[in-house]
Amino acid sequence: MSETVKTLEGFSHSYQSICIVGAAAELDLFTPLIRSPLTAAGLTQLRGTDLRATVMLLDALAALEILHKSTDTEPVYRVQDGYHELLDIDHPKTYIPMLRHRVNCIRQWVELARVLTTGKPHQPAASILGPAEDYRSFVLAMHAVGINMVGGMVDALGQAGCLTFRHLLDVGGASGTYTLEMLRRLPCAQATIFDLPPAIEEARKRFAGTAYEPRIRFVAGDFYGDALPAGCDFAWVSAIIHQFDRDHARALYAKIHRALEPGGKIAVRDFVMQSCRTIPFDGAMFAINMLAATARGMCYTYDEIREDLEAAGFTAVSYAIPADTMGAVVTAVKGSVHQMAQAPSPV
């Protein structure tokens, strides 16, 4: 078999593993197996699944070495060591929402040829969990991926001179992963999380009863149609701009510009593409995700981000944190660099 055939063969099989793991995540088959090893019949009784189908899926998960299968006459299955935190739906570090989100992405990607002929995203049927839970999975998936990069990202923001604010505006902040880490670093700062109502509900639940709750304002709204809360001196726009085209990006930047205090700073985290748009590789793949899932979404080059920020009134645009991942950050200032320098520091 030639190397090119092997490559195509690998591509053609790549969907199988995520579909297997994703189905188990949607039905939450892993959590009971973390609590106690079970037979397929025992798991079927707990989850109401078909026995034959459950046996076949559990065997496939064992073949993937995510589960361990005993050699008993009636085998029992358990989750392999190393996966417990990630596959326990109740654990703070659970990766279950991201697995569910990935399967929802597959439902959109599978109709990519149709998207190419119509120019419009495919609207798939909801998962077995329903539309509301699918959206909740998306919100929690952003947290699941965020907790693994937030520390390094905020370190980089500090090195780039961004952690000098008094009041953070986390635009589309979901459950507040970045807000929490930034408030940890700046004990006198405050924050506003702005997002759609279901995301704000998740944020409220996450911060309820914590020492950070009094320092956070939760504002539900839609940045497509609503004004942003004013009074901030740092706006964090994390993994947002790829959802829409340049006209919408400029409109959002203009809203942020109006919400910021003079001398305030905006930081935009996303993929930053080279002019060829094939590098970074992950950005080129993610652009297809936006093609499949959104009406006008895209991944931007630095020049496009700079031009759009400047069109909204920002100055001193800088590629502050270069990266080949979605951890790239572009910053800009409302007003002059002098105004930014004169802005009071947190006290």
> Could you read off the pLDDT of 139-155 as tens digits, one per residue?
888 888 888 889 999 99
Tell me the Cα Rg of the chain: 22
Rounded Cα distance, 300 and 306, in Å: 10
pLDDT at 324: 96
What number of helices (H) and strands (E) belong to the chain?
Answer: 16, 12
What six digits make up the tokens of 54?
A: 């459950």
* pLDDT averaged over 10-residue windows placed end to end, the chain, 347 residues: 89 93 98 97 97 98 98 96 96 94 95 95 92 90 84 96 97 93 96 95 93 96 92 96 95 97 97 97 96 95 98 98 97 72 42
Position 346 scores a pLDDT of: 41
167 Cβ neighbours under 8 A, 6+ residues apart: 189, 190, 191, 192, 231, 232, 233, 234
Closest CA to 249 of 198, 296, 179: 296
Burial 222-254 (b: 16+ CB within 10 A, else e): ebeeeebbeebbbbbbbbbbbbbebebbbebbb
What pLDDT score does 141 carry? 87
Close Cβ partners of 119 (under 8 Å, ≥ 6 residues apart): none
Residue 336 pLDDT:
57
Give residue 53's pLDDT.
98
pLDDT, position 303: 98
What pLDDT is recorded for position 312?
97
pTM (2 d.p.):
0.87
Give me the chain's average pLDDT, please: 93
Q: What is the pLDDT of residue 345?
A: 42
Q: Residues 6 or more apart from 231 whose CB is under 8 A from it? A: 167, 192, 259, 261
Specify the residue for token string 């502050």.
320
Continuous H helices in 192-277 = 197-207, 246-259
User: Which tokens sit at 248?
Assistant: 């919408």
pLDDT for residue 97? 94
Beta bridge pairs of residue 194: 171, 219
Helix (H, G, I), strand (E, B) or coil at 234: strand
Give the contacts of 340 (CB within 8 A, at least 6 positions apart). Answer: 263, 264, 265, 316, 333
| pLDDT for the residue 341 | 44
